[in-house]
């Protein structure tokens, strides 16, 4: 495995002590076919990301979102956990990882077998009514939208990281949306849009997990957005060592005890194999010389 093999031992030495909290980002899901805007597989989007204010205040913008997301969901629903997701689940079931915080909305950590994942920004496979608060499955909504729009196929070829696809306005003009079955209220994917805040209780839970951790392991996040970066700075305040594995620099590198620039799909399975194979566990270490990867 060349260069990847060279980084396994220092990472394994830190993770071997257990009580590890994982913070994951979009880079962990790229090998499942979901691109990352900022990483090596990143894509340039042509339209402005949907904001909460625009979604609730502009019926045409809402129609455009649901049309793009309706096609995107068909691709997102086909995404499966990759070797990186499965390795995190193995480390958790092996007692080394005590918690998983993810910035992703794809649900792939849970699908891979991880338990009690804190999904910071929600999940695309759930829908919430902004009127009564009822939550329903995206599969149910998909069925309702298909019935109303039987001829709507678009030309979706590639999905964006937030689960929608690129479509021209002419392609979405006739798309019909639906409201809540219970109260007639406005439906929204159960994810945090730009301009919307993460529920305070969810944030508190994440801060508590980080404060109680022995190590924070950041996987596939550029930490560009404060929503995830704040947990790295919190770890630094609490004296919790930070290990970052990401392809490319991150905004948390200054706080990292160890930073590894390597593919997660290779590093994580090798790490799990190294730590969970009988008789192969390395001695846990308290500190290593910081590295740039």
The CA distance from 95 to 17, in Å, is 10
Mean pLDDT across the chain, nearest whole number? 88
- 121 noted as active-site residue: yes
Confidence of residue 2 (pLDDT cuts 50, 70, 90): very low
Annotated ligand binding at 32? The verdict is: no
Q: Above 80 in pLDDT, residue 264?
A: yes
Cβ atoms 189, 122 nearer than 8 A: yes
Confidence of residue 287 (pLDDT cuts 50, 70, 90): very low
The CA distance from 216 to 213, in Å, is 7
Segment among 102-111, 215-224, 279-288 with least mean pLDDT: 279-288
Four-CA torsion 146, 106, 189, 247, nearest 10 degrees: -120
Point out the catalytic residue in the list 70, 85, 109, 121: 121
Annotated ligand binding at 180? The verdict is: yes
The CA distance from 5 to 215, in Å, is 21
Annotated ligand binding at 82? The verdict is: no
The CA distance from 109 to 84, in Å, is 9
Annotated ligand binding at 220? The verdict is: yes
Q: Above 90 in pLDDT, residue 155?
A: no
Per-residue pLDDT, averaged over 107-130, amounts to 97
Confidence of residue 4 (pLDDT cuts 50, 70, 90): confident
More confident residue, 277 or 39: 277
- Confidence (pTM): 0.88
Cβ atoms 39, 104 nearer than 8 A: no
What single string gives the DSSP state of each residue in 190-242?
EE--BT-PPPHHHHHHHHHHHHH-SEEEEES----SHHHHHHHHHHHHHT--E
> Strand, helix or coil at 175?
coil
Q: Above 90 in pLDDT, residue 281?
A: no
Annotated ligand binding at 206? The verdict is: no
Annotated ligand binding at 247? The verdict is: yes
pLDDT for the residue 98: 97
The CA distance from 20 to 98, in Å, is 6
Annotated ligand binding at 183? The verdict is: yes
Per-residue pLDDT of 169-223, as tens digits, reads 677 888 999 999 999 999 999 999 988 999 999 999 999 999 999 999 999 999 9
> In CATH terms, is domain 43-78+123-191 a member of 2.60.40?
no
Confidence of residue 17 (pLDDT cuts 50, 70, 90): very high
Domain ranges in the chain are 1-34+81-121+197-293, 43-78+123-191
Q: Above 80 in pLDDT, residue 104?
A: yes
Per-residue pLDDT, averaged over 154-173, amounts to 63
Residue 242, exposed/middle/buried by CB under 10 A (0-12, 13-18, 19+)?
A: buried
Segments of the chain assigned E as strands: 20-24, 97-102, 118-119, 122-129, 135-137, 187-191, 215-219, 242-245, 258-260
pLDDT for the residue 44: 45
More confident residue, 2 or 277: 277
pLDDT for the residue 181: 97
The CA distance from 191 to 201, in Å, is 15
pLDDT for the residue 280: 57
Fold for domain 1-34+81-121+197-293? Answer: Rossmann fold (3.40.50)
Annotated ligand binding at 264? The verdict is: yes
Per-residue pLDDT, averaged over 146-151, amounts to 93
pLDDT for the residue 262: 92
* Nearest residue to 119 via CA among 221, 214, 24: 24
- Percent of the chain beyond pLDDT 70? 84
Structure tokens at 270: 């090798």
Phi then psi dihedrals of residue 220, to 5 deg: 70, 35
Q: Above 90 in pLDDT, residue 75?
A: no
Confidence of residue 154 (pLDDT cuts 50, 70, 90): low
Per-residue pLDDT, averaged over 13-38, amounts to 91
């Amino acid at each position: 495995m060349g260069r990847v093999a060279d980084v396994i031992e220092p990472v394994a030495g830190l993770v071997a002590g257990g009580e590890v909290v994982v913070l994951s980002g979009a880079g962990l899901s790229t090998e499942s076919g979901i691109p990352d805007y900022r990483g090596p597989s990143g894509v340039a989007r042509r339209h402005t990301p949907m904001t909460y204010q625009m979604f609730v205040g502009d019926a045409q913008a809402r129609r455009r979102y649901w049309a793009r997301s309706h096609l995107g969901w068909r691709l997102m629903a086909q995404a499966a956990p990759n070797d990186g997701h499965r390795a995190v689940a193995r480390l958790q079931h092996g007692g080394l990882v005590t918690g998983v915080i993810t910035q992703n909305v794809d649900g792939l950590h849970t699908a891979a077998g991880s338990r009690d994942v804190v999904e910071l920004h929600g999940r695309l496979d759930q829908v919430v009514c902004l009127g009564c608060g009822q939550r329903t499955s995206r599969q149910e909504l998909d069925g309702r939208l298909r019935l109303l729009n039987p001829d709507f196929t678009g030309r979706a070829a590639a999905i964006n990281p937030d689960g929608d696809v690129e479509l021209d306005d002419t392609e979405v003009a006739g798309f019909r949306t639906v409201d809540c079955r219970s109260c007639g209220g406005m439906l929204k994917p159960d994810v945090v849009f730009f301009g919307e805040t993460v529920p305070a209780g969810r944030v508190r839970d994440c801060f508590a997990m980080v404060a109680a951790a022995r190590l924070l392991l950041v996987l596939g996040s550029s930490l560009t957005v404060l929503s995830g970066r704040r947990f790295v700075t919190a770890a630094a305040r609490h004296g919790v060592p930070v290990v970052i594995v990401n392809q490319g620099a991150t905004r948390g590198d200054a706080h990292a005890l160890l930073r590894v620039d390597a593919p997660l799909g290779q590093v994580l399975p090798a790490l799990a194999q190294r730590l969970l194979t009988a008789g192969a566990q390395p001695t846990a270490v308290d500190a290593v010389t910081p590295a740039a990867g």
